[in-house]
């Protein structure tokens, strides 16, 4: 079909949006009951159906936006419901393949990426593995343009990806490299290797994608019609877009901590007029929050949108971490349904903000802690592969009902992957007591129970030692 024949070519953005909104609360089968739906199912299938049966044009993959005159790009994206009943993005929002040969010749303002994706029309539907495409339910529809600071961060993200390709390192691209816009793998594995212009090493095919947490932010906007209702506060004022696009988000955040290196946590709290309860286990996390946004009763907006987690690590005089670092407890039933690319562990590991306090005494003493520094840790691809191994083994153990290996008194041993078997991530308990449990998808063979003590993924102590030594050299 020629563009001139497109029914919505020439229509205004408002008209297109109005038509899209007809889908809210509906399935294609409701709107077009007499239609015989044909075409591929599977990934991308729903988007094709919406183009074909609702907007009446044949799906294409041209580099222009789907509605050229209105400058709007149509996207469909799946939702899942959180345990608390809120809509969450099921996965990242893919915004087109990265052309390694093309991106190195572009500047952002005129890039293929920006041309196609500066204005999105997003149709969110409920993921349902069992339903056919015409029976998927649409829940949220809206158009999306990026706030100024977000676009500045995305510009820098794009430039980060470009510079890696320019350096002949396209094969080392990783989601953690960037803040909101990631270079997401596309195609499962070695089969989708591509040439890159400045190296003979083949690189994974990758696509630009808004990270899952950023998509959650868009969802919250669509739901509330305004800013997210949860209390968040930004690190950067709206007039800092220039510095965000040039100096970069990571550098600007880290520089906020540089002036406190060598200072005690209490001194840092005082310098920022923060009243912190140092009895609380969340004291360090609160301190970090206070330094960045000046208040304790809100979340760091940019971190939430980027899915960056803050962790504080205390190290001894020699540089050894006191403890491993935990992520939130996983739900067994959810974990076994995940795909690696969209897993919680992948998102948790991809990008961390780590604040390190070191003991000034040879004998460890919490009162002698001094800030050693703060840094972003973007877990490299090879380490993510190790994390994936732990993730896979954990799912296997759960699916086989083989969590418990032995019980002796009140202590039980499990078959979960330990720190000995993996250089990066292991599994440990993570609840209030052993009675603090989540349900299991299959009962445990040893205990017969349909639930088990909460567990989570932990970053190994030894791994953290290496990470800190690398990021904060003496």
Partner DNA sequence: GCATGATCATGC
Q: Binding residues for DNA, per CB under 7 A?
A: 83, 277, 279-282, 284-285, 296-297, 309-312, 314, 320, 322-326, 328-329, 366, 410-414, 416, 418-421, 426, 428-434, 436, 453-454, 461-462
Residue with Cβ nearer DNA (136 or 235):
235
- What is the Rg, in whole angstroms, of the alpha carbon atoms belonging to the chain? 24
To DNA, the closest distance from the beta carbon of 375 in angstroms equals 15
DSSP state of 57: -
To DNA, the closest distance from the beta carbon of 313 in angstroms equals 7
**Residue 226 structure tokens:** 């305004």
Q: Which residues pair with 27 in a beta bridge?
A: 137
- The residues, any chain, with a CB within 8 Å of residue 382's CB and separated by 6 or more, are none
Phi-psi category of 418—alpha, beta or left, where left has phi over 0 and alpha has psi -120 to 50?
beta
Residue with Cβ nearer DNA (143 or 331):
331
Residue 235's nearest CA partner among 308, 307, 291, 310 is 291
To DNA, the closest distance from the beta carbon of 301 in angstroms equals 14
Residue with Cβ nearer DNA (238 or 410):
410
Residue with Cβ nearer DNA (221 or 320):
320
Residue with Cβ nearer DNA (25 or 328):
328
To DNA, the closest distance from the beta carbon of 298 in angstroms equals 8
To DNA, the closest distance from the beta carbon of 174 in angstroms equals 22
Distance of CA 61 to the CA centre of its chain: 26
To DNA, the closest distance from the beta carbon of 141 in angstroms equals 28
Answer for the pair 320, 312: CB distance below 8 angstroms, yes or no. no
**Residue 447 structure tokens:** 């205990």
Distance of CA 413 to the CA centre of its chain: 32
Q: Buried (b) or exposed (e) across 119-153, using 16+ Cβ within 10 A? A: bbbbbbbbbeeeeebbebbbbbbbbbebeebbbbb
Residue with Cβ nearer DNA (165 or 425):
425
């Amino acid at each position: 079909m020629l563009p001139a024949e497109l029914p919505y070519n020439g229509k205004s953005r408002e008209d297109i949006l109005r038509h899209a909104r007809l889908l809210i609360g509906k399935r294609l089968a409701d709107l077009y009951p007499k239609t015989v739906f044909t075409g591929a199912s599977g990934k991308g299938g729903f988007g094709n159906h919406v183009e074909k049966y609702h907007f009446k044009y044949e799906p294409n993959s041209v580099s222009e936006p789907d509605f050229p005159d209105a400058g709007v790009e149509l996207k469909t994206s799946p939702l899942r419901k959180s345990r608390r009943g809120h809509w969450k993005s099921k996965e990242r929002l893919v915004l087109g393949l990265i052309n390694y040969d093309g991106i190195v010749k572009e500047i952002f303002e005129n890039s293929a990426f920006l041309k196609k994706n500066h204005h999105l029309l997003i149709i969110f539907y409920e993921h349902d593995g069992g339903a056919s495409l015409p029976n998927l339910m649409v829940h949220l529809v809206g158009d999306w343009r990026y706030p100024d600071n977000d676009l500045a961060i995305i510009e820098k993200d794009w430039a980060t990806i470009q510079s890696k390709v320019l350096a002949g390192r396209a094969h080392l691209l990783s989601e953690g490299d960037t803040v909101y816009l990631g270079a997401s793998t596309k195609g499962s594995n070695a089969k989708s290797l591509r040439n890159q212009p400045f190296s003979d090493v083949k690189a994974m095919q990758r696509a630009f994608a808004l990270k899952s947490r950023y998509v959650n932010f868009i969802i919250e906007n669509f739901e509330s019609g305004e800013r997210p209702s949860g209390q968040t506060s930004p690190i950067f004022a709206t007039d800092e877009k220039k510095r965000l696009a040039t100096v970069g988000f990571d550098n600007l955040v880290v520089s906020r901590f540089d002036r406190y290196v060598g200072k005690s946590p209490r001194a840092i709290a005082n310098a920022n007029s923060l009243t912190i309860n140092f009895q609380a286990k969340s004291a360090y996390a609160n301190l970090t929050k206070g330094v960045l946004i000046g208040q304790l009763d809100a979340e760091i907006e940019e971190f939430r949108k980027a899915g960056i987690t803050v962790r504080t690590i205390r190290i001894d005089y020699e540089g050894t971490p006191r403890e491993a670092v935990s992520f939130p407890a996983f739900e067994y039933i959810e974990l076994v349904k995940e795909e690696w690319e969209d897993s919680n562990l992948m998102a948790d590991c991809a990008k961390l903000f780590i604040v390190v306090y070191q003991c000034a005494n040879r004998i460890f003493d919490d009162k002698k802690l001094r800030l050693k520094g703060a840094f972003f840790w973007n877990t490299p691809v090879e380490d993510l592969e190790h994390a994936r191994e732990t993730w896979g083994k954990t799912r296997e153990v759960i699916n086989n009902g083989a969590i418990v290996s032995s019980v002796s008194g009140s202590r039980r041993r499990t078959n979960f992957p330990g720190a000995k078997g993996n250089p990066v991530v292991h599994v440990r308990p993570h609840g209030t007591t052993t009675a603090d449990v989540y349900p299991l998808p299959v009962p445990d063979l040893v205990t017969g129970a349909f639930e088990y003590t909460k567990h989570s993924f932990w970053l190994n102590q030894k791994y953290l030692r290496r990470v800190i030594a690398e990021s904060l050299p003496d």
